[in-house]
Chains A and B, each alone.
Chain A
Amino acid sequence: MVGTAYYLYVAAILFGIGVLGVLIRRNAIVIFMSIELMLNAVNLTFVALSRQLQSIDGQIFVFFVMTVAAAEVAVGLAIIISIFRLRGTVHVDEIHLLRG
């Protein structure tokens, strides 16, 4: 039986790596992947604490986080595709004009 704290450590490290990806990568798709990584880390925290607190609520939250993530990925990637069609790049430093 592994203690809850160890799961939280792993989740914190995964979350940190996700934040790092958002900060240093300049490719919009990889930034999006890093956001998914952060969502997964938070899900892991929810499930670990759901076991710790003997409550199903955390797992329900994870279920809804997955739903939101799927909708977010579909719309977000559609936005990235239309930006690429408009500007010919997904490099976020080159997408700096507010008016397309």
Chain B
Amino acid sequence: MVAEMFPILLLLVVVMAMVAGMFVMTHMLGPRRPGDIKLSPYESGMEPVGEPRTRFSIRFYIIAMLFVLFDIEVVFFYPWAVVYKKLLSQGAFILIEMLVFIGLLFVGYMYAWKRGALEWE
């Protein structure tokens, strides 16, 4: 189990070491001569007005939420696609059950569409 996962683990370690190394090296090697102009957020742009944390539109939330629900739907497709060929030899039942599944979610999709949840006013 771990033997076959070893390359992934190695990649993970190398990536983490690389990122950490980049942070540490730039911190140590880079020259640091801060000045008033250098420290301003936009050196030759407008001065920022107000706070960075402001509320943004509810539209973003509805899109993100629909993404989560359809993401779960897609996760169900992976095991289905893997066993599809094997179970299809025993009859078309596996095709029908997935069609029912997609059909029910398509109702939800049509509802979201008709309700205007996908439109950006």
A68 nearest CB neighbor, chain B only: B72
Bound: A74/B65 CA distance, A: 6
Q: Is A12 an interface position by the 8 A CB rule?
A: no
Contact B61 A67 (CB under 8 A): no
Bound: A66/B61 CA distance, A: 20
Q: Shortest distance in angstroms between A75's beta carbon and chain B's nearest beta carbon?
A: 9
Contact B69 A74 (CB under 8 A): yes
A77-B65, A78-B65 are known contacts. Are A70 and B71 too (CB-CB below 8 A)? yes
Q: Is A81 an interface position by the 8 A CB rule?
A: yes
Total number of B residues with any Cβ neighbor in A under 8 Å: 8
Query: Which residues 31-85 of A have a CB within 8 angstroms of B?
Result: 66-67, 70-71, 73-74, 77-78, 81
Q: Which residues of B contact A77 (CB under 8 A)?
A: 61, 65
Contact B58 A81 (CB under 8 A): yes
The main secondary structure of chain B at its interface with chain A is: helix
Query: Which residues 15-43 of A have a CB within 8 angstroms of B?
Result: none
Contact B72 A70 (CB under 8 A): yes
Q: Shortest distance in angstroms between A93's beta carbon and chain B's nearest beta carbon?
A: 23
Contact B61 A71 (CB under 8 A): no
Q: Is B68 an interface position by the 8 A CB rule?
A: yes
Q: Which residues of A contact B68 (CB under 8 A)?
A: 70, 73-74
Q: Shortest distance in angstroms between B51's beta carbon and chain A's nearest beta carbon?
A: 18
Bound: A78/B68 CA distance, A: 13
B65 nearest CB neighbor, chain A only: A74
Q: Shortest distance in angstroms between B73's beta carbon and chain A's nearest beta carbon?
A: 9
Q: Shortest distance in angstroms between A42's beta carbon and chain B's nearest beta carbon?
A: 18
